[in-house]
Structure 1
Amino acid sequence: MKIAILSTDGGGGGAPRAMQRLASGLSARGHAVNIIQATRNHAQPNAIVVESDGVPPEDDDCAQFIDNDYLHSRRTPRSNTFFSFQSKGFDLLELIRDGSYDVVNIHWSNFMLSPEMAGLLIALGKPVVFTLHDMGHFTGGCHYSAGCDGFERDCAPCSQVSDDTLAMTSALIAAKRLNYRQANVAAVAPSHWLADCASRSGVFELGSVHRISNAIETDLFRPMDKAEARRALGLDPSTRYILFGAHYTDEVRKGFSLLIEAIELLNRRLPENGAECVGELALLVFGEATPEIRSLGIPVTSFGFVSSDQHLAFIYNAADLLILPSLEDNQPNVMMEAMASGVPVVAFAVGGMNDMIRDGINGRLVAPGDVSALADAVLSLVTSPARAVGLGRIARNDILAEATLDRQAEHYEALFESLLGARQQATRGVAQEPVIATSAGFIPQSPIRLREQVAPRISTPNVRAERASFLAVRAAEEASAAAARDEAERRQQEAAARPRGLVARLTKLRRGISRSLSGSGKRL
């Protein structure tokens, strides 16, 4: 098969990294895979980079207003996770059609595809498969709903956007239902939780959402000798290490504040339990150690942003366990990489953690938000290294059984073939466009400049009127602020001038008195 994979970015973040792994697995099974992406970040040899050929200024102004001023001023305290109205998208129609792709696989595609532009691709009749890395493909804009089930209805009112006078959230989910609920469209979710949410959204046809786990390079992320890994990183081989991430620590759903509380509890409970590792416990951190981390009173080593997979593999193997405190998540790469490395994961029982972690068998799961239970679960492993090793061994075997690159690609391959078979059945007797044989190594000259369009639900008279009103209010506020500044500056200048005027008058008076006294023969 010839497969087009659409992704905003080519790697680095969690979603594009998972996408790259799927692309590698499919390529290894002999399929011709082209990654089409909207940035040059981490572009691979099999990537086609697209860039905007421009947007009509008036339409672009509307999109910028909706995505920035309108949205940001209305976010509620419920969540601070990324939210997008998906207002613009590239016209990829000719690129996909002329490339003679058999299947289109859409991944995280914000700033690249709007539902309306994706609808043009779906209308070609080719199988289109959405790989869901979060909830963004089936909601009114949120990428994690923070427990809200509004996506099952019309996302109005939205719990994350207040005073949505333009009804942006309901318009967005309506556009998705209109364009995505087609017979040639399927969705794949790595976790049962996300698959269930997508099925309940009404965005995809009944029965068209499938669960296929993400994959990990098990030859790279594999168990190593811990002492050797620690020496390679300059760490003490005899210390017990707890690993966690410190990226996006302000994002509420990541649970960073709960992690800090759990480690504080752990630090107090270690001596209470007479644990042997008192004074021999240390923290390993992906990202930078924040002041909260450094104030815990436990030695910490931070690795910053790690771009090398080999370096990552050493870090995982240096750890005794990984803490994952997310309160809402799909199937984090860090969990999969740790388990493949034979490192047990301690996490809250949410999202994709429930699929991969079996409490007390290959890791530890505790009730969501239960900080005390999280601390106790960590305590049970740092005080029993043999148990941690045993759980990690089973975690590795579970990854080998379910989440290798080839196993994931095999499942996708079967889904693609079933969709292609259904298409052939549906179009039997109908003239088809000719298929042009194209070698897997042929890549159009990149980057390609394509037309970018603003979604019709964005460039409306109502949006233009709202923007004009917003700009008028902002101009009035800026004029008022400028007038206030001018008045304050005038008063400051007057106040500064008063002492100088007084001194001048006193000096003049003194000189006059001096002259009078001088005429009388006296001195002042």
Structure 2
Amino acid sequence: MVLQLSTFHWEGGAGVAAARLHEALLQAGVDSHLMVSEISRPGPNTVAWADSPWRSKKAWGNFVLERLWFLPHEKDQSVRFAFSPAVAGADISGHPLVKQASIIHLHWVNFGFLSLPSLEKLFALGKPIVWTLHDMWTFTGGCHYNRGCDHYLSHCHYCPYLRKPGEYDISFAQFEQKQRIYAQAPLTLVSPSRWLDGLVQKAALTTRIPSRAIPNCIDTDFFKPGDRIAARNEWALPTDKKLLLFAGANTQDPRKGFAYFREAMQDPALAGTEVMILGKGEPENFRDMPVKVHFLGKISDPRQMVKAYNAADVLIVPSLEDNLPNTIMEAMACGTPAVGFDTGGIPEMIGHLENGYVAKTRSASSLAEGIQWVLNHNAAGAVSGLAREKVLQHYSREVVAGLYSQLYDSLLHG
């Protein structure tokens, strides 16, 4: 039995990726179980660690404790959730599912679900550990994305996320703690993108740990092309305009690069287009956009997300740091081409001048050129067809579940 562990369930990119993999493995006949901090919706072989009122309070308490612990150290409010000290978490080493598991598969486990002491106790069980990395935290002194800092290549210290960076700051201490508990851990690291796997192989903490790249997966029978006019009519969107979609969990997160999209839309060639925006935010955040904006807010219902992708002509992903964005995979599965910056795993997903456009990072003009290229070359749907074909070949449930099954077998049977 394989036990998947994830803080979030069907929430956030990592939580969605973990839940999707669990379902794909079940479909492929793998005895997979998923344990999350708290369940978002019922599912097969899915349990919550916080399965009682007391444990729910404990889970919330661990989250609050970790945030309060970091508060005196944070540089400013913008980095509050970008650094995880992993000082508080549940000890699940004695949980019945952990005892039954032949393989323990970690996903994103921060924010009070598992702490470093929790992980040390899991590693001490001696069972094979597969760890899918959804950001850089596994091999840094606490940050989820490095924002240009390369200290993780040798030893974290003088962390730019901290109010008082120093030679022996908390990033140094976490790095030392990880180095100690990784030393004898039966770990295999998996990165959804080749970009992240390349960093894993260079990082001082993980350079000697076996690693490989296996992408996230998606249900291509659910995320598929649909009736564009019907999708637009549902939200009272114009049927005679080119619609550009920006979808982010938090549209105001600087890492998502919305400022570059706003600047790109000042290009006169895009004056006749309109914009759809999905995610957390307020309508007033977008009043300075040079074109009309349709703000649809946060959408949690996957069926509505499919309709949103089908309503759009192109997805815009100007992320400055990202691993393997679910939004790109979902949009392409629906036949909606994507335009994104040449950063992280994005260029692995988008075939430049084939199924989409990879723009120069931090270049609004290149982003505008990419949007124009897709709109000009997709009149007959050729780009859309290639976008979906890329997903079918690389990110379908069957393909990804097969790769993980091979990995599990190799760990269990050599």
Q: How many angstroms apart in 1 are the aligned matches of 2:309 and 2:377? A: 18
Q: Which residue of 2 aligns with 1:211?
A: 213
| Aligned CA distance change for structure 1 residues 297 and 116 (closer, same or farther; 3 Å) | same
**TM-score, length of structure 2 as denominator length:** 0.90
What secondary structure does 1:15 align onto?
Answer: helix
Gaps of 5+ in 1: 271-277, 423-524
8 A contact 1:81–1:253 mirrored in 2: no
- If asked which structure has higher relative contact order (CA below 8 Å, sep 6+), I would say 1
Task: Give 3-state SS (helix, strand or coil) of 2:49's partner.
Answer: strand
* 1:476 alignment counterpart: none
- Call closer, same or farther: CA 1:84–1:420 in 2, change over 3 Å: same
1:67 to 61, 67, 70: 70
For 1:22 and 1:60, the matched residues in 2 are separated by: 25
Q: Counterparts of 1:35-434 in structure 2 under 5 Å?
A: 35-42=34-41, 44-51=43-50, 65-68=68-71, 70-72=72-74, 74-75=75-76, 82-95=82-95, 99-110=99-110, 111-164=112-165, 167-182=169-184, 184-204=186-206, 206=208, 208-245=210-247, 247-265=249-267, 268-270=268-270, 279=272, 281-287=273-279, 288=281, 290-386=283-379, 389-422=381-414
Deviation at 1:81, TM superposition (A): 5.9
Match of 1:365, SS state, is strand
2:261 and 2:364 in contact (8 A); partners too: yes
Q: What's the CA shift for 1:114?
A: 1.7
2-side partners of 1:61 and 1:317: how far apart? 39
Deviation at 1:44, TM superposition (A): 3.1
Q: Is the 8 A contact 2:332 2:387 kept in 1?
A: yes
Summarize deviations over 1:300-328 as a string: whole Å, max 9, x none: 22221112211111110111101001011
Which amino acid counterpart does residue 229 of structure 1 have in structure 2?
A
**Aligned mates of 1:390, 1:234 — CA distance in 2:** 27
2 CA distance for matches of 1:209 and 1:357? Answer: 24
- TM-score of the superposition, structure 1-length normalised? 0.72
Deviations 1:185-220 (A, max 9, x none): 111111111111122223336361110011111011
Secondary structure at the counterpart of residue 90 of structure 1: coil
CA deviation vs aligned residue, 1:381-434 (integer Å, no higher than 9, x gap): 3345416x2222111101100101121111111111111123xxxxxxxxxxxx
For residues 438-490 of structure 1, what are the alpha-carbon distances to aligned partners after superposition, in whole Å with 9 as ceiling and x for unaligned? xxxxxxxxxxxxxxxxxxxxxxxxxxxxxxxxxxxxxxxxxxxxxxxxxxxxx
Post-superposition shift, 1:43? 5.1
Q: Which runs of 5 or more structure 2 residues have no equivalent in the other structure?
A: none
Question: 2:123 and 2:277 mapped to 1: Cα distance?
Answer: 43
| SS of aligned partner of 1:302 | strand
Select the structure that is richer in helix: 1
What value does the CA root-mean-square deviation take over the aligned residues? 2.5
Aligned counterparts of 2:39 and 2:216: Cα–Cα separation in 1: 24
Q: Is the 8 A contact 2:6 2:35 kept in 1?
A: yes
Secondary structure at the aligned position of 1:141 is classed as coil
Check 1:298–1:151 CA distance in 2 against 1; reply closer, same or farther (3 A cut). same
1-structure distance, mates of 2:179, 2:385: 44
Deviation at 1:366, TM superposition (A): 1.3
Cα separation, 2, equivalents of 1:231 and 1:357: 29
Q: Cα offset for 1:230? A: 2.2
